[in-house]
Amino acid sequence: MATAIKPLSTYNGPTQLLIDGQWREAVSGKRFNTLNPATGEIITSVAEADKADVDLAVKAARKAFEEGPWSKMTATDRGRVLSKLADLIMEHRDELAELETMDNGKPISDSRNVDVPLVADCIEYYAGWANKVHGETIPVPGPFLNYTLREPIGVVGQIVAWNFPMLLAAWKLGPALATGNTVVLKPAEQTPLSALRLGELCLEAGIPPGVVNVLPGFGPTAGSALVTHPDVDKIAFTGEYLTGQTIMREAAGTLKRISFELGGKSPNIVFADADLDAAVAGSLMGIFWNQGEVCCAGSRLFLQESVYDQFMDKLVGQAGKMKVGDPMDPSTQIGALISEDHLNKVLRYIDIGKAEGAKLRTGGDQPTKRGYFVNPTIFDGVNDSMKIAREEIFGPVLSVIRFKDMDEVVPRANNTFYGLAAAVWTRDVGKAHAMARKLKAGTVWVNTYNVISSLSPFGGYKMSGFGRELGVHALESYTQVKSVWVSLPN
């Protein structure tokens, strides 16, 4: 650790459940602790929702959808409310950034300069869509007028992951609210605080009671109750694929609409004709940004053999200079992993990599025993069959793999049941476009990595999920189409 971690000020934000515009304790009276990953210390305790609380929140959301002012509000007015929410998010930028870093462990520079601005941008983007979602007229044969209505689905359960707590919530809240749905949001139990504060800002912005309900809790209780509730019309989930499989099984009884953004083992492919310095920088950011706790992280780095050694020397040298430490220090590049359990999981994968015969070039250890930190880790000599090349580690661990040419690397890059993202580094524009078509991934970056915009869709192929977040395509996940036929006189 380059700098000592300073204790944070006492947390004074909301810790209760937000149901129907009111802050309340769980019906059971239970609470659970949320920890600061940089120290392992308790920040505060929050109310623990379970089935009874989910039922209350769903009833409030249903009433707000069927009877409340949200369903009667014009689309333009809904957009104005969302725009106000975006403004409030930016007004509270520093507070929200500190809250996110305190509860998640990510560097404050990322929280302040990336996460919070992207949250506000996402909400503002969908504010603009609120009055632009409409149907169409269809020139059907016969004496009929046929037109479609694009309507909200209803009550939406949204379950988000802990790696980008507030941003993932915004990705789901924005299109859901813009299209007139009501929401029950379950943040990850590891990171409930920013979602609760966001719920508070929703009320301040003028979103009516019952439209946004926030229920901290655990997956087997609160999450399962939300998925199986007969009056929830849709589930949107971000997390690991095993949980996604459980949700699909549990949702089958009510045939809910589902959209998933799940994990990844994304290939990052560097050809010999690439700008190697840019590719080194992009590869470091692709795996070590947010401590590698990124579903689209470039965790499999494919290097063309003619530049392999040169590239590796640069990569390892720069990785060793990255600053790991106090997430509240603006100069920190790699913060703390989310929890002790996750730290131990990442360390187990590092041990597996060593046992499998991969060569540890840098990192693989903890810079301190206080908090949940791992130094940036790079494995050399990795082959496609190793666990560290096939399983999602979700930490700052990079597997580097040699390849000969394009024909060889494409099937190897696609040889995974994931398909969230991929990247290609080359100066050959034809090769870049050819690779973009051949790679089985929902996002393909060319000569860059981890570029995200509210305007552009994001989602996966295969076991990385289905449905799309962001852009106009996300609106499809939160609306349904009604066809209206009107008989016309001859």
Which residues are designated catalytic?
261, 295
Q: What is the per-residue burial (b if ≥16 Cβ within 10 Å, else e) of 452-475?
A: bebeebbbbbbbbbbbbbbbeebb
Pairing of strands 182-186, 155-159: parallel
For residue 6, what is the DSSP state? P
Q: Residue 323 and residue 45: Cα distance in Å, rounded? A: 31
Look at the alpha carbons of 340, 198, 58, 175 in this order and tell me if their dihedral is positive or negative: negative
Question: Pick from 321, 322, 307: which is nearest to 277 by CA?
Answer: 307
3-state secondary structure of 147: strand
Cα–Cα distance for residue pair 65/73, rounded to 1 Å: 11
How far apart CA 8 and CA 421 sit, in angstroms, is: 36
SS3 at position 257: strand
- Using a 10 angstrom Cβ sphere, with 0-12 exposed, 13-18 middle and 19 or more buried, the burial of residue 206 is middle
Cα separation, 154 vs 336, whole angstroms: 38
Dihedral sign of CA atoms 173, 179, 180, 184 in order: negative
Asked if 90 and 120 touch (Cβ cutoff 8 Å), the reply is yes
Q: Which residues pair with 155 in a beta bridge?
A: 182
Give the residues across from 400 on adjacent strands.
301
Q: State how far the Cα of 170 lies from the Cα of 327, in Å rounded to an integer.
A: 23
Helix or strand run (H / E) with residue 178: helix 165-178
Which residues are paired to 137 by β-bridges? Answer: 147
Which amino acid, one-letter code, is at 96? L
